[in-house]
Amino acid sequence: MPTGSDTTADTDRGATARPAPGDASADGHTASAARSPRRRLPARLTAALWRRLSAGAPRAVLAALAGLALAAAFPPYDLWPLSLLAVAALSLLTSGRTARQGAWTGFVFGLAFFVGLLKWLSVVGWDAVLGLSVLQALFVAALGAGLAAVSRLRAWPLWAACLWVAQEWARDRVPFGGFPWGRLAFANTGSPFTPLAALGGAPLVTFAVALTATLLAAAVTLLATGTLRRPRPAPGRARPAALAATGALAVACLGYAVPVPTAAADTVDIAVVQGNVQRPGMDFLGRPMMILNNHVEPTLALAEDVRAGRVARPDLVIWPENASDLDPHRYPQARAAIDRAVAAIGVPILVGALVDHPTREGYVENQGIVWDPRTGPGASYTKQHPVPFGEYVPFRDQLSKVISRLERVPRDFWPGDEPGVLQVGPARLGDVICFEIAYDEIVRDTVNSGARALVVQTNNATYGRTGQPEQQLAMSRLRAIEHGRAIVTAAPSGISAIVAPDGTIKQRTEEFTQDVLTARLPLRDERTVADRVGAAPEWALALAGLGAVAAGPVARRMKKHQKGNPQ
């Protein structure tokens, strides 16, 4: 990529060749000669842009490959060591570059990564994949600029790792409440780094992964620099390289020293019903009552097995998000079907349903409702974080005029404002709905409010067999360790699963099958360090990274001033 001085030199050469105003050209048309530089200006700008892109093409290609490698670190491929390789590659590609070069490299890396990660959104449309990927890649562009800036500082691997946390901190919050998908921690739900979640949550796992990778990048840089100058690295460079590599190994092994308590204070017998849907994709609902009947029928079959002595009676039953495809408070046939299932099994059922907002006409609430065999519908939890453009449409009046697909979201979801702690029979469970498992504060608040186990009521039927359900299940594995809680995932089409407090998957269903899981679920009251410290580690690490970016120019100016004014 040409430097600023190269570009200036090109401009100067162009200025020398211009005819002076008033001079006649070879054909005598003075006015044409005077206007020709202006006509050539777009061509010169295009040529300059092409030279810059061409000069940076190898780096861009490597950045794109690194981004795709990071996507492969996530489920369904689940090759978590690639997260280290990808982060190290981005550090090397931005090292010593200008902020603009770092930003472009980061953008290319981020775009390739998110397209690879979010290809499941192609069910909605590839324009949705590209649009969301470009938006998320802008955050990685800012990360790339920051990595370039801190690469000139002492202890730069530390500051670079902090910047990864800062980038995720921003992505998790803006715009429209953020989109936490694709955090480094979610690619490391079964790696040596995972136990660190019990100390500092997902941000600490991200930091440890990034620090290990940047230390490896530092070791490579030191060795490569020495090799270029001598047949083998000089001792002065070999020792720091070995120290960096040793540091990377030490950080990677820290997780093994973190205790992951799993002892149960109590247990509860549960059943999880996966009723299945009529078809995958955007039109999974079928006719009204079909999804509800799909969950009523296996519950009735379970009740028959209990009466016949083939299965022990559970203490409670869990249905997934949208198990009732009609509002049971409004449609008598839906309520009657749920009453029949609850009466047959004789224990409370946690029912996922969409219900009309009681006071705001036109709005709907996504709820988990405790349905008791004696008293009927009782306590409920309303999803706090509806998905933008999926469950509500920001700027609906303006955007719906140009994006006809938004008509598929006819009514906006109204958000709840309380953690989902519900007494379901003998168990105090914490309900989080679908994508909420990705948000630190929602899950943490639920545990700190008294949940003894967690339930993720989800509906992934739109994205079946795309890898998205596996990505979401990986988040449950991390949350189990982070909060020391067993997690039950209930989905109408899969993947339904039971995850132990140590993050291991005890049972899981196949996608697009009707199934019932039964298990003895451990209940715990002890809170982890991560529950107690909350978001403090994330804020501290993010601010440290941003502070390093801001301090870099100040330190360079002070150093230059000291050189110019020797004592």
| Residue positions annotated with a catalytic role | 321, 383, 434
What is the residue-wise DSSP string for 180-215? -TT-GGGG-SSSTTGGGHHHHHHHHHHHHHHHHHHH
Cis peptide, bond prior to residue 437, ω within 30 of zero: no
User: Nearest to residue 192, comparing CAs of 263, 250, 113?
Assistant: 250
Cis peptide, bond prior to residue 175, ω within 30 of zero: yes
CB 325 within 8 A of CB 289: yes
d(CA 283, CA 286): 7
Q: How many CA atoms lie within 13 A of 155 on its CB side?
A: 7
Q: How far is CA 102 from CA 125, 182, 269, in A?
A: 30, 20, 54
Tally Cβ neighbours within 10 Å of residue 48: 15
Report residue 413 as tokens: 């979801």
Residues 6+ apart with CB under 8 A from 401: none
CB 302 within 8 A of CB 438: no
Q: How many CA atoms lie within 13 A of 305 on its CB side?
A: 14
